[in-house]
Each structure stands twice: as structure tokens, then as C-alpha cells.
């Protein structure tokens, strides 16, 4: 339905413009997935050392890691993206050139790292102390205990919430369009301005996000069931 001259009239749906521009939308989905994968990878790389630093015996290390986590967990992602895009190049100097895609990876990755570090820390604390004591008695070094006992179990125990964070990051990639990353949301906005068919393009955009996210949601449910079976008796 649509309003014309104060009267409510029937809206004529027409997906012709959508079919004509399917390649643009497909390219946008590719950029969205690439942005998600890069951001999640960066976040995972940062989250593991952050989680261990939170358990350090040095108070200054604990304080710094906690401050990092609180800042990037509490700040809205859009604020982080805009600040990194406009302010960081000024601080780094005129010779530094950061593309919108790189800035988006940084902003989303830092947010993922802050949230994931707390998830991973909870996974570390869930490991029974008896296992660590037995490993120490058998002569395992701290590195061996971390590599063969602590990290594998923590990763497995936190797999479901980690996948949940990955889905959340995939949703947040739409914010990257505000700094001109040509993801599927940005591409859709451009096509709407060109074709004046907002309802059709927003409908297809919703369908594309659902088709991308729903398989991950089902994977999370499967992982949660298996984790419950494996650790339900702990």
C-alpha cells in the first residue's frame, strides 16, 4: 500500500530492478562475508591473550586488559568505526592510508575481541583444577598444560557462545556502510537511490541476511546440544 494525494492506494510490487542488479547484490554479500571472516579472525587472535592477561598475577596487566575489554565492549560499534575512520588517520599522520574495509575490520575485530575475551575467560575458569594438578604432577610445563589441556578444552567449551558472537558480528557488518564499505547493505542503499524501489530491495536484503545467518544459528543449536551431552555431568 502507498499514500498518494492523501489517499491510500495499492502498491505495485516490481522485482525487475532486483533481478537486473543481482550481481551487485551478490558482490555485496561476498564483501559482507569477507568482512565478517576478517573481523572474527582478528577478534579471536586478540581474545585468547586478553583472556590469559585477565588472569595474570600482575595487577597492572590485569587492569590494562580489563580497561581494554571494558572500552571496546561498552562503546557502540558505530562510534568506534566512525572514530577509527576519521580520527585515527590524523593521529597516525598523513602518510598512513587506511581503507574503509581495513577500518571496519579493526573496529568490528576489537569489539569481537573484547566480548570474546570474557567468554574465553569463563571457559578457562570452568576447567576442573584437578586436571591441572594431575598434569603438573606428571611433569607438564606451564606451556604444555596451556597448549594440550587448557586451550583445547576452553575452546571447545566456548564454541557455542563463540559462534553466537560470530553471528552478532555478521549482523554488525551492516554498520560498515556508514564509512563507505561496499557491503550488501551499502550496495542495497545505492540501488534504492538508483531505482526508487526501496520495498523490493529491503525485502531481498532481509532474505539474503536470513539465508546467510540461519545456517549458523542451526549450527549453534547443534553445538549446544553436543556440549550439553559432553559437559552436562561436570
Q: How far is CA 74 from CA 46, 55, 142, in A?
A: 17, 21, 33
Contacts 24+ apart (CB under 8 A), 93-101: 100/176, 100/179, 100/180, 100/181, 101/31, 101/35, 101/176, 101/181
Looking at the DSSP assignment, which residues form a beta bridge with residue 3?
8
Express each pLDDT in 88-144 by its tens digit: 888 887 677 889 999 999 999 999 999 999 998 888 887 777 777 777 887 777 778
Give the C-alpha separation, 9 to 20, whole Å: 27
220 or 180: which leads in pLDDT:
180
CB 80 within 8 A of CB 72: yes
Express each pLDDT in 3-48 by its tens digit: 555 555 677 888 999 999 999 999 999 999 999 999 999 999 999 8
How high does pLDDT run on average in the chain?
A: 87
Nearest to 69 by CA among 36, 115, 15, 19: 115
Residue 135: predicted pLDDT: 78
Length of the chain: 234
Residue 122: predicted pLDDT: 85
Task: Characterize the bridge pairing of strands 7-9 and 2-4.
Answer: antiparallel
Task: Classify residue 156 as exposed, middle or buried by CB count within 10 Å of its CB (0-12, 13-18, 19+).
Answer: middle
Nearest to 114 by CA among 176, 169, 187, 56: 169
Residue ranges and CATH numbers for the domains of the chain are 28-224 (1.10.3720.10)
Grid coordinates of 135: 598434569
Give the C-alpha separation, 122 to 8, whole Å: 55
Give the C-alpha separation, 79 to 234, whole Å: 41
Grid coordinates of 83: 572514530
Greatest C-alpha distance within the chain: 83
Amino acid at each position: 500500500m502507498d499514500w498518494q494525494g492523501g489517499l491510500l492506494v495499492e502498491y505495485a510490487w516490481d522485482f525487475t530492478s532486483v533481478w537486473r542488479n543481482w550481481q551487485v547484490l551478490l558482490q555485496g554479500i561476498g564483501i559482507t562475508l569477507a568482512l565478517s571472516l576478517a573481523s572474527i579472525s582478528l577478534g579471536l587472535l586478540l581474545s585468547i591473550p586478553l583472556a590469559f592477561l585477565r588472569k595474570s598475577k600482575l595487577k597492572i596487566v590485569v587492569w590494562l586488559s580489563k580497561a581494554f575489554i571494558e572500552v571496546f565492549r561498552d562503546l557502540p560499534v558505530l562510534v568506534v568505526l566512525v572514530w577509527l575512520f576519521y580520527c585515527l588517520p590524523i593521529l597516525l599522520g598523513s602518510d598512513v592510508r587506511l581503507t574503509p574495509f581495513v577500518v571496519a575490520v579493526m573496529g568490528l575485530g576489537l569489539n569481537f575481541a573484547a566480548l570474546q575475551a570474557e567468554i574465553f575467560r569463563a571457559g578457562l575458569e570452568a576447567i576442573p583444577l584437578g586436571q591441572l594438578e594431575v598434569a603438573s604432577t606428571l611433569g607438564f610445563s606451564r606451556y604444555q598444560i596451556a597448549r594440550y589441556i587448557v586451550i583445547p578444552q576452553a575452546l571447545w567449551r566456548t564454541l557455542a557462545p563463540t559462534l553466537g558472537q560470530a553471528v552478532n558480528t555478521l549482523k554488525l557488518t551492516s554498520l560498515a556502510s556508514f564509512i563507505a564499505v561496499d557491503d550488501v547493505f551499502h550496495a542495497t542503499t545505492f540501488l534504492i537511490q538508483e531505482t526508487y524501489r526501496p520495498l523490493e530491495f529491503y525485502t531481498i536484503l532481509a532474505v539474503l541476511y536470513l539465508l546467510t545467518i540461519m545456517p549458523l544459528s542451526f549450527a549453534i543449536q547443534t553445538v549446544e546440544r553436543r556440549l550439553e551431552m559432553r559437559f552436562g555431568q561436570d
